[in-house]
Amino acid sequence: MQCIADLHIHTVASGHAYSTVREIAAVAADKGLKLIAITDHGPKMPGGPHPYHFGNLAAVPDYISGVRVLKGMEANVIDREGTLDLEEQRLARLNIVLAGLHTVCSPHGSVAENTAMMIRAMQNPWVDAIVHPGNPEYPVDYEKVVQAAVEYDVALEINNSSLTISRKGSQPNCEQIAALMKQYGAKLIIGSDSHYCETVGEFTAALALIAKYNFPPEQILNSSMEQIAAHLRRRKYRVI
């Protein structure tokens, strides 16, 4: 299966990534991607951008090097209520919102507490996907998370970086999540979680994992532009 888009990419604005938007778009074009999402971390991440950064993303062109550029963020979940680290008026102006649990931003808890926190984040009307849900630092009840993703129409990510260079120990968790997603018909995104331009569109490990479960292409959002647009536009008040 071919992914035509990378929906999880970081620029220098995240504070711990190393490429510009232009560099990322050029690599994406060289690799044949049709669409990228710029999803820098929210402001609670150490070194992360000020909220004004997200308000000014309109300055970024919609197309660079022939590649469609979505302006988004990877929001940090900052409390057990699932609160994100950007106010709703700014979230509403973004093309795509990812949300994730991160050690320096999100409280650690029991499986029940972590599961409730992740599900509450899904209930935010602007959240389009939960990223790296298999992170072993935040154990959750995977079945409840997948069922909630279906209920709230939020995608779950299989994160290539989690299977290669970060969040060690994610592989068996991601296997469980993938099996449950196939069982319940949850929407899936494959993300590079790129922090350097040359890894944009790198999905090798994630694709190998999901190949075991024979997902139909229509369940994988970044297999077509139409599916990405349909998912993001399910919020009728969002403009893409």
- Kindly report, residue by residue over 50-71, the tens digit of the pLDDT: 999 999 999 999 999 999 999 9
Q: What is the 3-state secondary structure (H, E, C) of 167-203?
A: CCCHHHHHHHHHHHHHHHCCCEEEECCECCHHHCCCC
- The percentage of the chain sitting over the pLDDT mark of 90, rounded to a whole number, equals 96
**How far is 129 from 78, CA to CA, in rounded Å?**
16
**What single string gives the DSSP state of each residue in 81-111?**
T--BSS-HHHHTT-SEEEEE--TTTS----H
Extents of the domains making up the chain? 5-232
Within 10 angstroms of residue 137's Cβ, the number of other Cβ atoms is 15
Q: Is the pLDDT of residue 96 over 90?
A: yes
**How far is 225 from 191, CA to CA, in rounded Å?**
15
- The percentage of the chain sitting over the pLDDT mark of 70, rounded to a whole number, equals 98
- Kindly report, residue by residue over 29-38, the tens digit of the pLDDT: 999 999 999 9
pTM exceeds cut of 0.85: yes
- Kindly report, residue by residue over 66-94, the tens digit of the pLDDT: 999 999 999 999 999 999 999 999 999 99
Q: What is the phi-psi region of residue 15: left when phi exceeds 0, alpha when psi lies from -120 to 50, beta otherwise? A: left
Q: How confident is the model at residue 235 (pLDDT cuts 50, 70, 90)?
A: confident
Which numeric CATH code is attached to 5-232?
3.20.20.140
Q: pLDDT averaged over the chain?
A: 96
